[in-house]
């Protein structure tokens, strides 16, 4: 066992100590284009929503009456609009949980591309929806694919990265979301001038399938990650070949020996997750809190902008134009820079610091928006500036770090499962708050929903400080050491211990 562990360490050491190689960049692109598509499909709806609600879409304005929901009389049209906006997120709840676990049981490669195929097929079907029920169902299934992309893409990029550049590479995968955000607004803007308004929303939705088609092919060509091959399948030859491919360094004579590794039962998975409960709670709660704020506000940008007098117009085309411009300003000036500032800082400042500072600034910005809502809504530029600060620091911090940390705090055998759990619960929170945002805005009034988000973000900062271990510069075998053993903080570039390799990593 000792000899095998040392050999495994030598194999992984070649990957951990490698520089930034062409193979890393290619893998980043293949994984990242999925997140471009994810973000586009999620956020293009902010531009399409006014059309769907109009007589040009599904004539939701004709839906009358109210329903008692959580003690409030809610317009039925708000319920339908909330379900359309949140359907993808509720689907992602199931997709992340299911795909995350399958990727640990059967391998990352075997199912990589299936999640994107689901997105493509049901994106096309959503674009030809004949009524809002079909749109909600197809968008829900699109969400299953979106959710599946989270644990698989992040885990693959993390397990292929060197210790020094892992944060940068995984955050670059996630930063592709920023381009998806901007593209959604720009495609929405172009669609209303290319096609009649009655058909423009269909083009907005269908466009999301186009860049994803070629990416499916590229994903199917990726090799299994060296860590899964070595530590779960016991296939040293496959691991050496994968490392050689990614780093460009020849593997020489490849050892074809396959060591029999015990497959984990469902009971084993639960036991392993219990050992890492502090990290399960830390990653899940912090991601849940962030997604409630991020998706609740971002998917309702159109509503927020109209509430402060930006976007509303007697002309539907002008309303859509203004909403798209507002989205472009928020995404281009605040969200997109935030993603790429995170890329530059993540391996320097570390994950933990960026996450709690991001939450703290978000809390301050939301509380200002809530307390001074009556004043700020009369000054559109100032409102957008304060709201944009929450956007900027959210992306520099928790939006990026909550995606990275689950790939680093858990061992290979449960890495994708743990990431799937955190992403799944986060998307559930996002779906619930997106659905309730319009209702809370009406029920609480005068910015009360922002005060609630401010309190939640403050809790996120505290949770980060209490439950998250710093992982920058560490090999995955060190960063995922059992927290129950009392070892909490490690020094960057600490070598892999023999014990790490023998504990079912």
The secondary structure of 183-221, three-state, reads HHHHHHHHHHHHCCHHHHHHHHHHHHHHHHHHHHHHHHH
What is the domain class of 2-499 according to CATH? mainly alpha
Question: Residue 498: its pLDDT value, please?
Answer: 38
Phi/psi at 143 (5° precision):
-60, -30
Structure tokens at 135: 């749109």
Region class of 108: left (phi > 0), else alpha (psi between -120 and 50), else beta: alpha
Q: What digits encode the pLDDT tens for the residues 300-357?
A: 666 666 665 665 566 778 878 887 887 788 888 888 999 999 999 999 999 999 999 9
Q: Which residues of the chain have pLDDT under 50?
A: 1-4, 252-254, 487, 492-504
Residue with tokens 């210790």: 163
Q: What digits encode the pLDDT tens for the residues 185-226?
A: 899 989 988 888 888 999 999 999 998 998 999 999 999 999
3-class DSSP state for residue 66?
Answer: strand
Q: What digits encode the pLDDT tens for the residues 358-407?
A: 999 999 999 999 999 888 888 888 988 999 999 999 999 999 999 999 99
220 class by beta-carbon count within 10 Å (0-12 exposed, 13-18 middle, 19+ buried): middle
pTM: 0.89
Question: Residue 54: its pLDDT value, please?
Answer: 76
The dihedral over CA atoms of 155, 156, 157, 160, expressed in degrees to the nearest 10, equals 120
Structure tokens at 301: 């940008």
Q: Please say whether the dihedral angle defined by the alpha carbons of residues 344, 347, 348 and 352, taken in this order, is positive or negative.
A: positive
């Amino acid at each position: 066992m000792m000899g095998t562990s040392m050999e495994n360490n030598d194999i992984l050491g070649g990957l951990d100590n490698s520089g930034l190689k062409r193979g890393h960049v290619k893998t980043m692109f293949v994984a990242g284009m999925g997140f471009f598509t994810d973000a586009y499909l999620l956020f293009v709806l902010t531009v399409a929503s006014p059309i769907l609600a109009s007589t040009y879409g599904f004539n939701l304005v004709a839906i009358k009456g109210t329903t008692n929901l959580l003690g409030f009389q809610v317009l039925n049209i708000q319920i339908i609009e909330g379900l359309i906006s949140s359907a993808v997120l509720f689907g992602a709840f199931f997709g992340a949980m299911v795909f995350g676990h399958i990727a640990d049981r059967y391998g990352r490669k075997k199912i990589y591309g299936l999640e994107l195929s689901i997105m493509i097929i049901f994106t096309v079907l959503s674009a030809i929806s004949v009524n809002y029920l079909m749109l909600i169902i197809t968008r829900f299934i699109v969400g299953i694919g979106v959710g599946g992309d989270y644990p698989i893409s992040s885990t693959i990029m993390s397990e292929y990265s060197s210790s020094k550049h892992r944060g940068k590479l995984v955050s670059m995968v996630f930063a592709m979301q920023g381009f998806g955000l901007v593209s959604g607004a720009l495609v929405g803007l172009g669609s209303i001038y290319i096609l009649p308004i009655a058909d423009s929303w269909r083009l907005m939705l269908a466009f999301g399938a186009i860049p994803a088609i070629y990416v499916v092919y590229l994903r199917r060509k990726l090799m299994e990650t060296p860590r899964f091959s070595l530590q779960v399948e016991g296939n040293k030859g496959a691991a050496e070949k994968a490392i050689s491919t990614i780093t460009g360094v020849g593997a020489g004579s490849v050892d074809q020996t396959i060591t029999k590794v015990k497959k984990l039962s469902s009971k084993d998975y639960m036991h392993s997750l219990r050992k890492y409960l502090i990290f399960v709670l830390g990653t899940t709660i912090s991601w849940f809190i962030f997604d409630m704020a991020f998706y609740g506000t971002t998917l309702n940008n159109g509503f927020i902008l109209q509430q402060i007098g930006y976007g509303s117009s007697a002309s539907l085309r002008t309303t859509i134009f203004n909403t798209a411009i507002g989205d472009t300003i928020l995404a281009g000036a605040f969200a997109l820079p935030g993603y790429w500032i995170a890329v530059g800082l993540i391996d320097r400042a570390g994950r933990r610091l960026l996450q709690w500072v991001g939450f703290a600034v978000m809390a301050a910005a939301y509380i200002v928006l809530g307390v001074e809502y009556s004043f700020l809504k009369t000054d559109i530029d100032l409102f957008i500036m304060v709201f944009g600060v929450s956007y900027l620091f959210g992306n520099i911090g928790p939006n990026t770090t909550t995606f990275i940390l689950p790939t680093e705090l858990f061992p290979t055998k449960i890495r994708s499962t743990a990431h799937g759990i955190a992403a799944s619960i986060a998307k559930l929170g996002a779906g619930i708050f997106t659905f309730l945002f319009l209702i809370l805005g009406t029920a609480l009034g005068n910015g009360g929903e922002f005060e609630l988000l401010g309190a939640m973000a403050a809790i996120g900062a505290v949770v980060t400080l209490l439950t998250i271990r710093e992982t920058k510069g560490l090999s995955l075998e060190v960063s995922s050491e059992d927290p129950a053993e009392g070892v909490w903080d490690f020094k960057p570039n600490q070598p892999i211990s023999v014990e790490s390799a023998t504990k079912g990593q």
